[in-house]
Structure 1
């Protein structure tokens, strides 16, 4: 039960932060946000506030912010169509009843002659059964009433396509950006609580029954030499140890002001398709608010680099698709992390947030990176790509991504349960 709650909270936080980035920059640009959704599929909760429908949906596979103009507008009124209209106090049309007009006895039923809800916000027509001609201004926040469900109209200046290249690019980039910011905040919080690694190669603790304990390492030791070479960075220490499984390594440490030679043989550790050496020590840390901030940026950068490297291996075939994890695999990993403590769970959340940000920036159709690519092409060409062609590309891309998700999920199930 703890894992289920932790997974729901983690998933909800990552998706909410990502979609909130899209949402807030869409609002700042003046776009009409029709829906802010967490999850896909059937709605299990919904509420409407300030023009936007907020929903929580059944399938925990992401989320979305639906901005006016992203998809073809929901209702298309054509000349000759009979519609009902009602008016606000200013005399402007505030409701356009598309069907079920008999349920709105106060509405004026007209036959549409001309209608422009994008730019002029004006409609012309004749009252049904009468030759009287009407010309009405439409309120910019008027609603279609279709099957008794209201949908706000979207004048062109409220649509995604009406905004500048910079505004659209920022709205698309804002989701991944918020994921990076979330990881920075989490890493900074963990650093303030647990401390930041010291700059020297100083041992913070020694694992019981480890090669380091057998070799005589103690907490507080500072490693200054390895195999006769001076060292000063923990990364150098790690690199040599990991590259020397089951090989004797000579080290010199400073303890209480004295140099002490030690000999250690890293144990062989095999993890999936990798093997490396490990001695069983933890780097010393210090609590420092000032160092916590740059450290959080450093951690986000390092994890970003690692994830990008693995993505590159996937593209070049060095990584198999069987090694990818979907929701089931992530849930299983979360279960293991939750059992190791809250701090590790928060670290895992930060790593997944970085991963979500980077994956969404991959220039593939239907992802934020794919849509940013089209905006970039527009900036270079000086004119937008045909919206219908772009829509087809994104639809195909989304279908392929869903297919990939099914394959990855099936692999997770086979790996874990079969």
Structure 2
């Protein structure tokens, strides 16, 4: 039975996808909910998914907890919101008694609104750190020393003068601790000169290497483009090993790993803007579902690691300064703090419509990439 599952990842796709998305969405929305409740804002609904309600109940605080028909997200709806995107219902606010307005989202103090909105993405980052901490505590981390044991002929490393036996010390002045540090750094810098500091025969040398944009396939046959310099290490000479962590050490390492995901994401966005990488690597729900099914064949720990990566990605996506996303709301609050009053009803309405159009366009583009990737 297990062989059948691992040989056919599509069998695991839907349950793995729902598990990952459910966890990330629940934690994100719970961040909004907890800080909103703490701030004294009345919460009308906590929904996993969008669309018609499938099942739910109302708690003693008047909050409707529900599971909705489309499990691709979720929302917390506050008192005074017009919709699930927390668009202010200006007409309804006019009819709410002055004594009740403090319980609405728009009636709350600016810092309370900002804290409530920021709590969702922050919860995503915390989730990633918690997951990675658990993995590092239970299984440690596989590392190897940054020693070059193979230089591929014709590679960027060979052109730069890298030799077998070189010990890699730094990249653009940043200290290298493991071989994976090198792989991570150059992968998002195709075509960008990198100063590689090495130790060779007791001497320290600075070499200029330019990673080549290279299309590779992962173990599932998925294509991706990365910056490659063409060096390898080996099990024995590279001292490949598993490093164990104390609880504190695991938290520190998990935080560093989460930060690496954040910086890697920004590097990728920068490469898209400058044209060094193609946008066809942007994926939507279909690709996330496909990847979830594939990773699930590697085991539950691998699926948890994917959840951590996606949690960070979703947290960053929500912080984009686009109206309807959390980052758009925070941008509005920054403007309000600067002006001393919120943007007008018309301006906010136009901004939310533009933001919705941008988000929908991105979703359509990502879904198109998913479909063409499957067909290709």
Tell me whether 333-342 or 162-171 shows the greater mean CA deviation: 333-342
Task: Indicate conservation of the 8 Å contact 1:196/1:291, yes or no.
Answer: no
| Structure 2 partner of 1:55 | 66
> Secondary structure of the equivalent of 2:71?
strand
* Alignment partners' CA distance in 2, 1:64 and 1:242: 36
Listed one character per residue, the Cα deviations across residues 188-224 of structure 1 (whole Å, up to 9, x for unaligned) are 00000111457x8289xxxxxx979xxxxxxxxxxxx
| Structure 2 partner of 1:179 | 124
Matches within 5 A, 1:325-364: 325-364=283-322
As a proportion of its length, which structure holds more strand? Answer: 1
> Secondary structure of the equivalent of 1:160?
coil
* Alignment partners' CA distance in 2, 1:400 and 1:9: 28
| Structure 1 partner of 2:79 | 68
Task: Indicate conservation of the 8 Å contact 1:202/1:283, yes or no.
Answer: no
1:285 aligns with 2:237: no
Report the TM-score, using the length of structure 1 for normalisation: 0.65
Compared CA separation, residues 378 and 227, structure 1 to 2 (3 A)? same
| Structure 1 partner of 2:194 | none
| Structure 2 partner of 1:31 | 41
Cα distance, 1:73 vs structure 2: 4.8
Structure with bigger gyration radius: 1
| Structure 2 partner of 1:43 | 53
Task: Indicate conservation of the 8 Å contact 1:308/1:358, yes or no.
Answer: no
Report the TM-score, using the length of structure 2 for normalisation: 0.72
| Structure 2 partner of 1:10 | 20
* Alignment partners' CA distance in 1, 2:77 and 2:278: 34
1:227 aligns with 2:166: yes
* Alignment partners' CA distance in 2, 1:337 and 1:66: 33
Question: Number of residues paired by the alignment?
Answer: 308
Task: Indicate conservation of the 8 Å contact 2:90/2:345, yes or no.
Answer: no
| Structure 2 partner of 1:274 | 226
| Structure 2 partner of 1:146 | none
* Alignment partners' CA distance in 1, 2:31 and 2:181: 37
Task: Indicate conservation of the 8 Å contact 1:35/1:65, yes or no.
Answer: yes
Listed one character per residue, the Cα deviations across residues 389-412 of structure 1 (whole Å, up to 9, x for unaligned) are 213311331133123212321221
2:279 to 317, 321, 332: 321
As a proportion of its length, which structure holds more helix? Answer: 2
